[in-house]
Amino acid sequence: MIIVLFGAPGVGKGTQAELLAARKQVPHLSTGEAFRQAIREETELGKIAKNYVESGKLVPDDIVTGIVREAMNRPEYSGGCILDGFPRTQSQAESLDAILTSAGSEISCVVNIDVANEEIIGRMLKRGRKDDTEAVIRDRLEIYNSQTAPLLEYYGSHGKLISIDGNADVETVYARIDDVLPA
């Protein structure tokens, strides 16, 4: 089973991925952790990504996809995984589809956790992180809306998209996700 958790920054994708992984016995493949591991292990793609990260530039889609492909080839993900933070662009989505097709697999579902922008801003400001200023959060939401939100249409047109209301406590949101997952 391949599940993609989708939604704007601050909707709780990481939290829900951890709960799903623990309760459904499907490993969570965090793109951020895959990046850190590739950089730590100094893989070829990790070295390239490190140069982009250290210079403050966005890592190109082909490098991001390559790191995710390497991670998905690990034995612990052979039975599927929960992805959060990937894909973020249509190019990444198409590459993920190609990776899965070549492995004889496909995305089971894309669960979009829908939360209003003002609620997201409030949540993220409460986290108390230094880089979570209202201006930075609004900028991240703008980038999400212009670059990543179009994937909702992409996955909707492929019959993979399920949206749930993320305006609730963690357990209620988990129950809503659990209700829509394929058996």
Q: How confident is the model at residue 85 (pLDDT cuts 50, 70, 90)?
A: confident
Boundaries of domain holding 148: 2-177
Number of domains in the chain: 1
Query: Would residue 13 show up in a list of annotated catalytic residues for this protein?
Result: yes
- pLDDT band, very low/low/confident/very high, at 62 (cuts 50, 70, 90): very high
Query: Which domain CATH number covers 104?
Result: 3.40.50.300
Catalytic residue among 24, 123, 138, 176: 123
Instruction: Assign 119 a pLDDT band (cuts: 50, 70, 90).
Output: very high
Residue type, 70: E
Contact present, 69 and 44 (Cβ < 8 Å): no
User: 84 with 17: CB under 8 angstroms?
Assistant: yes
Question: Within a domain: residue 116?
Answer: yes
Task: Give the confidence band of 183 by pLDDT, cuts at 50, 70, 90.
Answer: confident
176 is catalytic: no
Largest CA distance in the chain: 44
Q: At what angle do helices 31-40 and 61-72 cross, to 10 degrees?
A: 90
Residue-wise pLDDT for 127-175, tens only, equals 888 888 999 999 999 999 999 999 999 999 999 999 999 999 999 999 9
